[in-house]
Amino acid sequence: MSEPHTPPSTANKLVAEALGTFLLVFGSIGTALFAGDVVGWLGVSFAFGLTLLAGIYAWGGISGGHFNPAVTFGLAAAGRFSWRDAPGYIVAQLVGGAVATTLLVLIGLFGPDGWLTNAQDAGFASNGFGAHSPAGFGIGAAIIAEVILTGIFVMVILGVTNAKRGNGNVAGLSIGLTLVFIHLVSIPIDNTSVNPARSIATAIYGGVDALAQLWVFIVFPLVGGLLAGWLHRALFEPAELPPLRSEARVR
């Protein structure tokens, strides 16, 4: 006789969101900082996708596997997630990301002479435009890229996690690979955000310039997520939706 299933508590969900965001930031930004010269943009892109994939399969069944405020906004706009629960998720995501970069700094303190100072002087893998864009793209390019690519990311998530039309067995793989191609497109433009938690986590240690430009990588991924949620709902789920669930699960 099987034991009855106990739904995860709110605390379980918030811890899962913090852990998933921690894994995403620690693994991907760690790759950029410690191995970026070796693996290049391709390797860093796959680091983002693979860490997200791991987080989804590890904790997605508990919290839904958002690990990104823009995803939380997009799911709420699509009616898949309660706006009431969004602030808690976002705080957990921000905490997870900040803890990840703090531990990367701690590792850097025990690195080769000057490693941490050089990493911070270079922006600590923060997002940026203009002089701080890897390939010299301006603010307009960063804004357009963040809105479009975050929108694509959220639309894919909403599509593959649809209760009737999605394919839950490979949803995490689809989402992770989407994040890979997003980074391949936009690392040269602005070092790729599509995730305000990731941007805030690196800007904390990226210096004055990273903090000054941070608003772009908070506002426009959220805009992209919202637009994608509303568009998906209008195009593909216009009928009355079932009662709001506390998360959009990725199985």
Domains of the chain: 10-236 (1.20.1080.10)
Rounded CA gap, 134 and 155, in Å? Answer: 27
Q: Which tokens go with 219?
A: 């506002």
**pLDDT at residue 162, as a whole number:** 84
Taking residue 228's Cβ as centre, other Cβ atoms within 10 Å add up to 28
Half-sphere exposure of 15 (CA within 13 A, CB side): 6
Per-residue pLDDT tens over the stretch 100-109: 999 999 999 9
Q: Which element (helix H / strand E) includes 232? A: helix 208-236
Per-residue pLDDT tens over the stretch 203-249: 999 999 999 999 999 999 999 999 999 999 999 987 645 555 444 44
Taking residue 9's Cβ as centre, other Cβ atoms within 10 Å add up to 10
Helix axis angle, 10-63 relative to 171-190, nearest 10°? 100
Rounded CA gap, 146 and 222, in Å? Answer: 9
Taking residue 54's Cβ as centre, other Cβ atoms within 10 Å add up to 16
User: In the chain, which stretches have pLDDT less than 70?
Assistant: 1-5, 166-168, 239-251
Distance of CA 174 to the CA centre of its chain: 15
Rounded CA gap, 66 and 17, in Å? Answer: 7
**pLDDT at residue 169, as a whole number:** 74
> Of 119, 122, 142, 124, which Cα lies nearest the Cα of 217?
142
